[in-house]
Amino acid sequence: MNHPSPLRHLLSLNDVTDEELYRLVGRARDHARGTVPLNGQLADRVVGTYFRTTSTRTRTAFSVAALRLGARLVAYGPGDLQENTGENAGDTGRILGLMLDALVARTSAGAEELRTIASWDTMSVVNAMTEDEHPTQAVTDLSALLAILGRLEGLRVLYVGEGNNTAAALTLALPRYSGTELYLRSPSGYGLPQSVLLRGGDYAAAHAAVVEERHDMDDLPPEVDVVYTTRWQTTGTTKQDPAWRDVFCPFRVDAALMERYPSAIFMHDLPAHRGEEVDADVLDGDRSIAFQQAEHKLYGAMSVLEWCLTGLPPTSHTA
């Protein structure tokens, strides 16, 4: 197999340098613009997809991305591999790496399982969502903002809802752009892990950015460019508190919240539950870019696969 050296994985955004993040996001934006020729960049490569939990956007995006870039595709469902009969992740990764060039995997566990699969360094491994982080979602979100708003530097984002894997990825990515502001508002007990907040704070300190988490809807920032939410019950998770919906109710994005920010756009990583985390008139309104954002899943997937398997040229992260 003709792999780059060193082999590239996307397991966590903490493993990616600022410049690599800028390249990933810029390349995705370029794919969205249609300025990247599709000339079989991944011809003769074989990409596997392994999704243990449900996926509409991410699975479709990576499957279509691999095919559009000229790769062959092997798809595994949750019951297809011998992990279900007790084979450990290391052995599974060792075998798959002898035959695949890349594996795009979604699990219901943490990223450490993917690190075990990737430890043989015989194929690229892409984290298509674990319980603790959704790195390709951040590439999607930032490329959508860059394409639609024309910049990332100085953007102000209000994230409302659970401190889930999407929120974690956003916290590990957005503050790497100069002057950005990320305000996270989540119910008490449902915020981000302290380790993610600390790392996001480190990135913010290095780039004159802001990361702030609170567990109420008081003292909201006076101005933001983006209001972002996600579904309250992240894919593959459950909540122990039977009254959890009551706790989340004040964190719904409705017309009143959007009226506070008349120039802000609305984002949602989908799937959405209208009437829960977001009102229908917001999600389907003219300031929502949620479905354009979903389309950027494809462009982000193309960028990630190229980066992992061939590398990416330098790109401007501002235009």
- Tokens 């950027």 correspond to what residue? 296
Banded pLDDT at 318 (limits 50, 70, 90): low
Shared fold status for 13-133+297-309 and 137-294:
yes
Nearest to 306 by CA among 18, 68, 94, 1: 68
Segment 148-157, tens digit of pLDDT: 999 999 999 9
pLDDT single digits (tens) 32-75: 999 999 999 999 999 999 999 999 999 999 999 999 999 999 99
Which pLDDT value is given to residue 84? Answer: 87
Token pair for 110: 């943490």
- What is the average per-residue pLDDT within 177-199? 97
Q: What is the mean pLDDT of the chain?
A: 95
Give the pLDDT score at 108: 77
Q: Would you say the pTM of this structure is higher than 0.85?
A: yes
Q: Say if residue 2's pLDDT is above 60.
A: no
pLDDT tier at 298, thresholds 50, 70, 90 = very high
> Does the domain spanning 13-133+297-309 belong to CATH 3.40.50.1370?
yes
CATH 3.40.50.1370 fits 137-294, yes or no: yes
Domain ranges of the chain: 13-133+297-309, 137-294
Residue 155's contacts (CB-CB under 8 Å, 6 or more residues apart) are: 145, 149, 174, 177, 180, 181, 225, 226
Q: What is the mean pLDDT of residues 260-277?
A: 98
Is residue 286 classed exposed, middle or buried when 0-12, 13-18 and 19+ CB atoms within 10 A define those classes? exposed
Segment 201-217, tens digit of pLDDT: 999 999 999 999 999 99
Q: DSSP label at 286?
A: T
